[in-house]
Chains A and B, each alone.
Chain A
């Protein structure tokens, strides 16, 4: 007989496995541009160190980096004219894994 006050049986929740796939788009290429912007470049945006992660025609996706941990804290799309290349000392030391001479050759001044 149906009893509306009967305690409901606990539901068993099955968590299905999930999957993440990196879609191959990999390319060893730097966008051909007239300027010096390039993917993976250290920049300064809003006075914060960031990495230029994606390049579009007039804008870029920058990933702000925590200076202490070197990890990403925020992502934002900004106009390229809001960016400038970082100097050597502006690259978080925890991520500064090339020497000063090499950095200078890549445009990271003092």
Chain B
């Protein structure tokens, strides 16, 4: 499934291209509410995961690979459960670290993925392709 860029994310990207708004590191978060991304979304639409062992991942600007072929990627991020429980994971969303503005999100296929057992994990390889 392709990522979904909401209206606020599109506007932010446009302002960054022309240097009206400075770029910031991005933060990758999983979400636990049953949301299908829509163009009206903001970061507040999504409920961040809270399972034991979870913490959001900061995507540092310098650690992205070089853009190539209209695509840019970051090393795979793994979110691993370290305590038994039960929480649904429906997807992930990416915000700017300081402004908190939603940049994009993605709902998984065949979700929810239920996190119950120590060692359960969710892997995301941040990749953005412009075409």
Contact = CB atoms under 8 A, between A and B. Distances in A.
Contacts of B124: 21-22
B71 to A, nearest CB: 8
B113 A95 contact: no
B48 interface: no
A19 B78 CA distance: 10
Interface of A: 15-29, 38-42, 51, 53-54, 63, 65, 70-73, 91, 95-98, 102-103, 106
A28 B36 contact: no
A24 B38 contact: no
A30 to B, nearest CB: 9
B4 interface: yes
A96 B121 CA distance: 32
Contact of B125 (A24, A54, A73, A91): A24
A73 B33 CA distance: 12
B58 interface: no
A39 B41 contact: no
A17 B114 CA distance: 11
Given A18-B120, A22-B106, 16 more contacts: A16-B119, A19-B120, A19-B121, A20-B113, A22-B122, A22-B125, A27-B130, A28-B128, A40-B39, A41-B39, A42-B39, A72-B36, A73-B34, A96-B40, A97-B45, A106-B7
Nearest to A32: B131
B3 A95 contact: no
A18 B40 CA distance: 33
Contacts, number: 120
Contacts of A40: 4-6, 37-39, 41
A26 B2 contact: yes
A50 to B, nearest CB: 9
Given A19-B121, A22-B108, A54 B35 contact: no
Contacts of A39: 2, 4
B3 A26 contact: yes
Contact of A70 (B5, B35, B89, B108): B35
A71 B108 contact: no
